[in-house]
Structure 1
Amino acid sequence: MPEPDAVKAPLEDIMVAMDVVDTLRHQASVASRELDTEGRRERLLNRLRDMYGAQGIEVPDHVLLEGIDALEQQRFSYKPPPAGFATSMARLWVSRSRWGKPVLFLTSLALIFWAIYFYLEVLPEQRLRAELPGQLRGSMALINDLAQEDSARQQAQAQLQLGLNAVKEGQFEAAQSALQSLQTLRSNLQQSYVIRVVSRPDQASGVWRIPDANPNGRNYYLVVEAVDSANRVVAREVVSEETNKAKTVRAWGLRVDEATFQKIAADKQDDGIIQANEVGRKRPGFLLPDYTIATSGGAITQW
């Protein structure tokens, strides 16, 4: 094991050599001039002796020479690390106290907005994408069981395909509209009612119109309503031939020929009661009622 003095001496020499280098750096113009000419080391050595001597510090020549060598070799000097990814990341980390809080705030804000977007937009969309195809096919299966005519199945199949294509393309409003159409179609197929001419003292049982296209002609309509097996009036969606718009009504005008219109009028005028007031019947499994009178099926919803 080396003696304590042997360890202490080199350490002191190193410290003094570092001081020499520091002194030379502060005297940069002198060092540069002396080190660039012949005999520079000797002249610089003499200057260093004078500097330290003036301060009352005795420094051995070998230590002064060690300091001069260190200056020439750029020892004891700081060299910045080369530019690169690691250096950039290190500098970024060191400066985190300056940018950390703003970045954390913005990140938190972004996460909050993303969470809101996820729960209000993404999650419902994922649920619709997963559930709508099954709901569409389920409604189609019920319609197939109920339908007694091909036209009902064909309408349902068209809506099913429309809905499935809409789900595939992410058009969920269109898919839900197709599902609603299937549900309405199913409800219609389930319905059963009779169609009767309205025969109440305070309501008209028939009306006539003068068409715009034929001022000399008349269109005749019986005012009818749908009544279920419990004798309740059933609201129906009816498309007016005058406006071509659908409207849900409890009574509508059913277009008939003049002979049928006059026959019903005579029946009511006889005693105020229409004896043969049933003019059609809607059976389960069918979309449209079967009529027992001559009619084009045209309708109006207001008069």
Structure 2
Amino acid sequence: MPEARAGAPALDETMLAMDVVDTIRHADRLVERELAGTERQARLRQRLREIYASQGIEVADHVLDAGIAALEEKRFAYTPKGEGWRRSLATAWATRGRWGKFALIGLGVVVLGWGVHFATVTLPAQREAAAIARELQHDLPRALRAEHDRVLAGTQEAGPRAEAARLLAEGEAAARAGNAAEARARRAALADLATRLAQEYTVRIVNRPGEPSAVWRVPAANPRARNYYLVVEAVDRTGRPVEVQVTSEEDGRTARVSRWGLRVPEAEFERVRRDKLADGIIDQPEIGRKRAGTLDTEWTVDTTGRAILSW
């Protein structure tokens, strides 16, 4: 066995020094008490000698000194390395048996929640957005143009044609700007204009037993005045009711109705009243005609065209 290099401690002395360090390290009270004074190394050496003597072990002073020096230099101490991602990953893998099941359950909940959210929120929103985009790019422009062309085909009057051109321009501008609600509103207005132009009906005074043919009202703005109205209805060629758009002058409400009150002068009101009182029949009930292709009604009586919806 080769001899140890000159000056190098023997293996047994090194092992004994390590044991000395371990003895000091585990004797916390001893270290705390003996290393506190000025003669700490001498007292510590004497204390260690007594400990080993009680165990039947004789330790040379230079071995004790080497152990004390090693303790102070922390030569045989283990200092764990700091936490790093590799250490954390290794620790997680080593302890996967404890947390793996819960992690899988949590992952399953997350995946399930994402799937439900995607199916109930994200996917419908994407479909709705795609439908709106398709409507704005294709459906609404075509529908606006179709309703505009229907208006032009139904009238030669300048007023309705100009109104149709305005509604078309506004609807197309709204579609280009991505405002579907405004574009739809213009399409609906064009469709209503085309429907009103296509209508053809006769306006006649209601002349049935138990129903009024004329009424008068006291306006709220002038309690001393009276407004006179004929109760009229719109009917087609076969006598069936036709709903027309009427706006009340009392509250500004607009509705599609087949019967309304048409404002007339007091003299017209009295003429109709006397006519009905004479024999219960109005001799000339027809007082207006609305022809296809126009928005205006041709009246045979003196009227402002203003109306009420209830009486």
TM-score by shorter chain over 0.5: yes
Q: Does 1:121 align with 2:121?
A: no
Q: Which moved more, 1:165-174 or 1:215-224?
A: 165-174
Question: Which residue of 264, 283, 307 corresponds with 1:299?
Answer: 307
C-alpha change, 1:118 and 1:171, in structure 2 (3 Å) is farther
Q: Which moved more, 1:266-275 or 1:237-246?
A: 266-275
| Matching residue of 1:75 | none
C-alpha change, 1:39 and 1:297, in structure 2 (3 Å) is farther
Cα separation, 1, equivalents of 2:299 and 2:90 = 89
The alpha-carbon deviation at position 90 of structure 1 amounts to 7.0
| Matching residue of 1:20 | none
| Matching residue of 2:217 | 209
C-alpha change, 1:89 and 1:153, in structure 2 (3 Å) is farther
Q: Does 1:222 align with 2:230?
A: yes
Q: Does 1:234 align with 2:238?
A: no
Q: Does 1:163 align with 2:163?
A: no
Cα separation, 2, equivalents of 1:193 and 1:165 = 35
Q: Does 1:187 align with 2:195?
A: yes
Q: Does 1:43 align with 2:10?
A: yes
Q: Does 1:110 align with 2:106?
A: no
Q: Does 1:280 align with 2:288?
A: yes
Q: Secondary structure at the match of 2:10?
A: helix
Identity %: 34
The alpha-carbon deviation at position 302 of structure 1 amounts to 0.8
Determine if contact 1:129/1:167 at 8 Å carries over to the other structure. Answer: no
Cα separation, 1, equivalents of 2:226 and 2:14 = 131
Letter in 2 for 1:279: I
| Matching residue of 2:36 | none
Equivalent runs, 1:2-41 vs 2, <5 Å: 39-40=7-8
Q: Secondary structure at the match of 1:140?
A: helix
Matched length: 236
Cα separation, 2, equivalents of 1:100 and 1:288 = 75
C-alpha change, 1:188 and 1:93, in structure 2 (3 Å) is farther
Structure 2, unmatched stretches of 5+, are 1-5, 16-79
| Matching residue of 2:146 | 138
Cα separation, 2, equivalents of 1:111 and 1:280 = 65
| Matching residue of 1:67 | none
C-alpha change, 1:290 and 1:105, in structure 2 (3 Å) is same
Cα separation, 1, equivalents of 2:253 and 2:203 = 21
Cα separation, 1, equivalents of 2:193 and 2:283 = 33
Cα separation, 1, equivalents of 2:299 and 2:206 = 16
Cα separation, 2, equivalents of 1:43 and 1:274 = 141
Determine if contact 1:221/1:261 at 8 Å carries over to the other structure. Answer: yes
